[in-house]
Structure 1
């Protein structure tokens, strides 16, 4: 009898010590939501780009395309080689305004006041952050940002709605080099 109980306990112990088996998912997702989102974003960008191209064609000035997905033109350009574009951590003092593509002012320079921005160390919307990297002190540039380079899906939760392309005129007053660079 003792052998039977010992054998049963040993068998119970062996079967309880086996490694757990992975459970199979009850349902699988196909990724169709992501595919639909990609298609929607491509359509939105194509519409925005068509409107932006019409604006640039109507303007007599030549716009440049940035590597990061927006367009810009210089109002005032500094040709001096002694002035540098900002690097990581440099303090930039600048003024800017924000307009919709139809030219309606959303935020004036007075509304936004003069800004001090530590390059890549503070929050700033993507397009403006990359635009400031192209500028030198004393320059004024007009940027046209598609919505994905502006405030994107959420807007600024105030005056700028979701998926709104923007025009910004930016003037860099000064750039103070970071001493650690």
Structure 2
């Protein structure tokens, strides 16, 4: 008899517990907006540190004066054309000779010649803007922070992540898409 009473009491308790209305689970609150804001703030700090390091390095080079561009890189003329006013525009095909090193001079890519269609092909983002400042025959050395170069991915070959680049580039020729030479 005691077993049947225990059975009935257990059944009654389970019935009361089972009758409780189920409350739906609420999703955990994850604010992606806050996450993105934190990532942006962190990147701003890293970019500021990189900019400070670049400026310190350029300031130590007392023989060369670098100009700051509105596009986030620094440059200095090695050979400047003061006569011509023609610079490449979107769609022009330019022939350039360039190298790519790290800020401290470690060689990534030795001098190579390349044809590049302005603003229509992939190239180092800082250099794509820098080429548009140049005239035929000019040589400019560019210092490009990582966020204007290959950023957090590198180039998948020789250039690592968050790498500041220095590139000396000579603009050999500017051609219009219909092969007219400037």
TM-score range, shorter chain: 0.7 to 0.9
Residue 29 in structure 1 maps to residue 25 in structure 2: no
Local SS of the residue matching 1:114: strand
Residues 32-181 of structure 1: pairs in structure 2 closer than 5 A? 32-59=34-61, 60-81=63-84, 83-109=85-111, 113-179=112-178
Q: Deviations over 1:77-130 (max 9, x none)?
A: 00113x510011111000111111111111111xxx210001111111210100
Question: What is the Cα-based RMSD across aligned positions, in Å?
Answer: 1.9
Local SS of the residue matching 2:37: helix
Local SS of the residue matching 2:147: coil
Structure 2 unaligned residues grouped into runs of 5+ = 1-25
C-alpha distance in 2, partners of 1:153/1:80? 40
Q: Aligned pairs, how many?
A: 153
Q: Deviations over 1:61-88 (max 9, x none)?
A: 211111111110000000113x510011
C-alpha distance in 2, partners of 1:43/1:29? 24
Deviation at 1:54, TM superposition (A): 1.4
Q: TM-score, normalised by structure 2?
A: 0.78
Deviation at 1:50, TM superposition (A): 1.3
Local SS of the residue matching 2:57: helix
Deviation at 1:163, TM superposition (A): 1.2
C-alpha distance in 2, partners of 1:180/1:107? 29
C-alpha distance in 1, partners of 2:103/2:87? 27
